[in-house]
Structure 1
């Protein structure tokens, strides 16, 4: 057990025949007591300081651990957000490609239909032209026949008769 200032103060030395000067020893002991008390106070203060600093260190270590966990969570969250964004981007691209394919197929289909309709109209126009030509030729032929000449002569005669009777 370490000495206390009181132990030093109460220490009694045995006296010898030619011992030390008692006043000098007492002065020295008083000085040792003062220094020892100062050292003990300083030790107590330093112990309190160490305790306070250890508490603060513990608090800062807790904060560091919390920050590290927060950083890890933030990194994981960022990675998850990045993965989700990539998946969403891929889905958007696939959807856009599907829409583009659908639009292209629709356009090609409409183009084919327009081409078929156009070919059909050309055929119909050709048939109409041919029929119309045949009709005109038939009409011309009919106008050039003898029956037509006779019929026109008969109609002319009847018109003359009708004009006289009136």
Structure 2
């Protein structure tokens, strides 16, 4: 009954009765869209999800939970920078208030605790690895930025000072 046909960019059941049944199931849009819809942008990238499921050997819900956890971890550092930047900007504009400092501090501590809590109370097996995936990715990113900056400074030519320029014109 459910012999699937694979065509580029879509998946449909081969049996027209099954297609008609799925099309009438308006109460389950995910099932209807996954089986009939040719526009897969709502589902993200199905090949990437299938690849992750194949590599990890886990189910779709486990892979989704791991990726969602990793996405939250990647927002920790930007959120800390946003909170610190808000305080620094308001201080520079001389409109810093206690409410803003308290709000930024509560937000920064909350986002930091999301990561620290995962290290203190690790979740189930595939999801606990995301804290280390995050650390390794951030370390590689920082190392790449540091090496790029170091190489650009090593190859830079020193600017000529104005004193040296003035002495060469007078002689």
TM range (shorter): under 0.3
Q: TM-score, normalised by structure 1?
A: 0.26
**Greater strand share, 1 or 2?**
2
Q: TM-score, normalised by structure 2?
A: 0.25
Give the structure with higher Rg (CA). Answer: 1
**Greater helix share, 1 or 2?**
1
